[in-house]
A and B are shown apart, each in its own frame.
Chain A
Amino acid sequence: MLRLEKRPEPSGAMRLASPLIAAVAMLITGLLIFLILGKNPVEAFQVFFIKPLDSVYGLGELLLKTTPLLLCALGLAIGFRANVWNIGAEGQLIVGALAGTGVALAWGETESSWILPAMLVAGIIGGMLWAAIPALLRTRFHTNEILTSLMLVYIAQLLLAWLVHGPWRDPMGFNFPQSRLFEEWELLPILWEGTRVNTAFLIALLLVAASWFFTQKTHAGFRMQVSGLAPAAATYAGFGEKRNIWLALLISGGTAGLAGIAEVAGPIGQLQPQISPGYGFAAIIVAFVGRLHPVGILLASLLMSLLYLGGEQAQMNLALPSAITGLFQGLLLFYLLAADLFVNFRLRVRTVAGAA
């Protein structure tokens, strides 16, 4: 008889192995699904995981899609470590994009060199403001931030739709619901010729280091970690809960907002009704697959980015629906949560002895 037994202490090895096990299990299940759909699994694997990476352009696309995932997940992880559950990075990403675009539309004609930095800063502030709403509700009224931050995503999406259909629609744009195209000085510089990777990726890499420094070396990071692990001990030590909630939501809102403006001032180049294929939600999975650790998150966001690219390839080459990306994301999270059980428990084979 198999039995779950609590480990004397959590297994560090299992904590690291769990995302790998989840990735492999996701792969096997995915290939099984391809098989059931009548696709050749070897070919499907090839299309999904190899083909996106077989060119310089493909590698560039990988890093391009990694950027918003990485930015959002780094911020979210800081909150998750402190038990602050910001589920609304998608909404903060959109509002960040709106705020940055607003700066471009208002002052872009001046062609000055501060336009782009101002757009980025506006993006960060926009994301922070959107995240400040659940922070205020939680600290003032004890509202659950999971619900409020999630609901604000839909409001942000409607706000975006209204702006591109209404006040910010390009008058020269043949009535398409889009803003005007950004000018060269309003776009993030390309980092690598022949690809679409821009300087936002560098900023994201810097933030990996900054996030590591924050969690490992600063007292604020320690305070947030303690509130997450043992709220009573945090109160005992005098680490104010409110300060942590504000910090967690402002940081994650800020990075999500930066991701948003970096998308519209990067690969998209204008405001459109759709600016993110769910990066803000996928980043939640990225944060957990990356074990809430900056380096882990970097690796996990590369994997998640590959799933997006593979999903696109599968649509084009295998005639599979776009839901395939979401399917793989779901599988990954599902297996991760299952494998995480074994961080604290282990399986034991028990022989039934004596009379039961």
Chain B
Amino acid sequence: MQNQAELNAPRLVLRGISKRYPGVVANDGVDLCVQRGEIHALMGENGAGKSTLMKIVYGVTRPDEGHIEWEGRPVTIANPKAARALGIGMVFQHFSLFETLSVAENISLALDQREPLPQLGERIREVSQRYGLPVDPQRLVHSMSVGERQRVEIVRCLLQQPRLLIMDEPTSVLTPQAVRVLFETLRRLADEGVSILYISHKLDEIRELCGTATVLRGGRVSGTATPAGESNASLARLMIGNELTECSLIPREAGEIKLELTNLTLASPDPFGTSLHNIDLRVRSGEIIGIAGVSGNGQAELMAAISGETPCTDAGQVRLCGLPVAQSDPARRRDLGLAFVPEDRLGHGVVPSLSLADNALLTGAASMVRRGLVKMRTARAFAERVIDAYKVKCNGTAALASSLSGGNLQKFIVGREISHEPKVMLAAQPTWGVDVGAAQMIRQALIDLRDRGGAVLVVSEELDELFSICDRIAVIAQGRLSPLRKPAETSIEEIGSWMSGGFIEREEAGRAAA
């Protein structure tokens, strides 16, 4: 039985938590207090120390200094099992589900106590119904969408009757409609007395959902706030330390067609990948076209087909500046004026163990190689210019790419690609995981390129981003592309319903009628 004092104590208190890794202080004297039944936001830019702090709470790592109190009692959380025993559950940003197993089998693997599968299936059904998270225990995970998989993760936590639920960037993989459902669930849990630690950098969501916010900056607490009473600007100021500049998209007339996809159909080589179906798209000089969609709906396949990493069968399916290139390799397309910022930075956009100068050479052969020989001086000068122009924080051109933070590396990659003055620019998730300040700079750089006459195609999961920088927006779902809309002529709701495939049924109905 718990006594009265324990019942009144906050659910979780962190005092003076510090954690140092070789070369970085991830957390520096962090205090945090989460009340019962409270939805508490933990905000901060990338590298602010949010993940480390949550790993400490969930027992994945141990703090170097500081104390943790759980419902009024000091505790040491040795490992995740101990955390779960206390009543702490965590839904990670990247799911850890076995695709070839069913929901019940996956959950069974993660439970600390063995339970017969039929009985577990019943409990899964019961919990999922109670919280409005429909999940079929018999279904195989590989057939589920990302949103459904997240539900499995949440149900898995709820089965253990947690009293504190940690959610790490849960909405980054959801459609706006799915976000609504998730928020309902979280509010219901909070009403039942479950505390929720909600990690995010999306200001609108935090203001809507969370009662209190603790903001981290550079490993320290830079402030606590009541998000409902703050504006996006004031929250951003707490997070990044200075004002956020808005990027400006001045309407202009688009020019000639630079990139043209005609009836692009491509079977995915990956059995769990998405095949592309009949995609038609024209990107003109001086315009930014955005492609929204829940990840895994063919974005990666579309980018690979345009960049040349996956060659197509019919050369006319992809035209670059009028020339059929669908069978050409990426180097040839680059020579014709294509630049590409891939979603994965380390290992795809750059070689982690090579210097920035070498990574400039990676896509700069046209100007840095003569008669098969590398002009290293030119490569270094080029890298130097990118570093200066895009304010990349690093130790000069000899710094290894892996030594840069995610945001700085992304600035380098975007800067490198834009500095080649491409006629067509592809950017996949250009600001994913990048802090607010750097994201703003990257968006502005894309807009500037468009203003100089570049044709830009942006794939992003962040609808706010697409609405702020795109001349027209389309949605990709199940490998099909929706019609294009001007941001002013559509709404988050319409795009959201398209993201779950709404336009496909309509198209098919239209075809049937005709």
Contact = CB atoms under 8 A, between A and B. Distances in A.
B330 A236 contact: yes
Contacts of A217: 373-374
Contact of B347 (A10, A225, A230, A240): A230
Contacts of A356: 78
Nearest to A353: B62
Interface string B351-394: 11110001001110100010011100000000000000000000
A235 interface: yes
A218 B330 contact: no
B331 interface: yes
B371 to A, nearest CB: 9
B373 to A, nearest CB: 6
A226 B373 contact: no
A238 B342 contact: no
A226 B372 contact: no
A355 interface: yes
Nearest to B330: A238
B355 to A, nearest CB: 12
A229 B358 CA distance: 12
B372 A237 contact: no
Contacts of A9: 400, 402-403
B344 to A, nearest CB: 7
A8 B309 CA distance: 32
Interface in A1-34: 5, 7-10
A194 interface: no
A167 interface: no
B493 interface: no
A217 B375 CA distance: 8
B374 to A, nearest CB: 5
Nearest to B344: A232
B351 A219 contact: no
Given A232-B347, A235-B309, A238-B334, A226 B374 contact: no
A294 to B, nearest CB: 17
B507 interface: no
A8 B23 CA distance: 7
A128 B353 CA distance: 31
Contacts of B361: 222
Nearest to A240: B329
B194 to A, nearest CB: 28
Contacts of B403: 9
Q: Give the most central of A9, A220, A222, A226: most B CB within 10 Å.
A: A222
Q: Give the most central of B22, B351, B361: most A CB within 10 Å.
A: B351
Nearest to B351: A230
B332 interface: yes
Interface string B17-31: 000011100000000
B275 interface: no
Nearest to A232: B348
A233 B362 contact: yes
Contacts, number: 75
A235 B369 CA distance: 18
B330 A237 contact: yes
Contact of A230 (B22, B331, B333, B348): B348
Interface string A230-257: 1011011111100000000000000000
A145 to B, nearest CB: 21
A237 B366 CA distance: 12
B373 A233 contact: no
Contacts of A5: 22
B334 A229 contact: no
B349 A236 contact: yes
Contacts of A354: 76
Given A219-B369, A236-B342, A238-B331, A226 B78 contact: no
A182 B353 CA distance: 50
Contact of A355 (B78, B333, B363): B78
A229 B344 CA distance: 15
Interface in B61-78: 76, 78
A66 to B, nearest CB: 30
A10 B402 CA distance: 11
B350 A233 contact: yes
B197 to A, nearest CB: 24
A8 B76 contact: no
A233 B402 contact: no
Given A222-B358, A226-B354, A232-B348, A238 B332 contact: yes
Contacts of B503: none
A235 B330 contact: yes
Nearest to A227: B351
Contacts of B344: 232
B350 A238 contact: no
A232 B346 CA distance: 10
Nearest to B362: A237
Given A8-B22, A238-B308, A230 B352 contact: yes
A229 B369 CA distance: 20
A355 B76 contact: yes
A107 B347 CA distance: 53
Interface in B322-350: 329-334, 340, 342, 344, 347-350
Q: Give the most central of B307, B308, B352, B373: most A CB within 10 Å.
A: B373
A10 B354 CA distance: 12
B209 to A, nearest CB: 36
Interface string B74-103: 001010000000000000000000000000
Contacts of B342: 236
Q: Give the most central of A218, A236, A239, A354: most B CB within 10 Å.
A: A236
B42 to A, nearest CB: 25
A233 B351 contact: yes
A229 B359 CA distance: 12
Contacts of B76: 354-355
A220 B23 CA distance: 36
B309 A236 contact: yes
Q: Give the most central of B307, B354, B402: most A CB within 10 Å.
A: B354
Nearest to A348: B22
Contacts of B78: 355-356
Contacts of B332: 238
B29 to A, nearest CB: 19
A354 B65 CA distance: 12
A226 B330 CA distance: 15
A50 B400 CA distance: 43
A109 B266 CA distance: 62
A233 B362 CA distance: 8
A318 to B, nearest CB: 45
Nearest to A220: B372
Contacts of B353: 10, 229-230
Q: Give the most central of B330, B340, B358: most A CB within 10 Å.
A: B330
Interface string B457-479: 00000000000000000000000
Given A226-B351, A230-B350, A232-B344, 15 more contacts: A217-B374, A218-B374, A226-B354, A229-B354, A232-B347, A233-B347, A233-B349, A233-B350, A233-B351, A236-B309, A236-B342, A236-B348, A237-B330, A237-B362, A238-B329
Interface of A: 5, 7-10, 217-220, 222, 225-226, 229-230, 232-233, 235-240, 354-356
9 tightest CB-CB pairs across the interface, nearest first? A238-B331, A238-B330, A230-B351, A219-B369, A232-B348, A230-B347, A8-B22, A8-B23, A237-B362
22 contacts: A7-B22, A10-B353, A217-B374, A218-B372, A219-B369, A220-B372, A226-B354, A226-B362, A229-B352, A229-B353, A230-B347, A230-B348, A230-B351, A232-B347, A233-B347, A233-B349, A236-B348, A236-B363, A237-B331, A237-B362, A238-B330, A355-B76
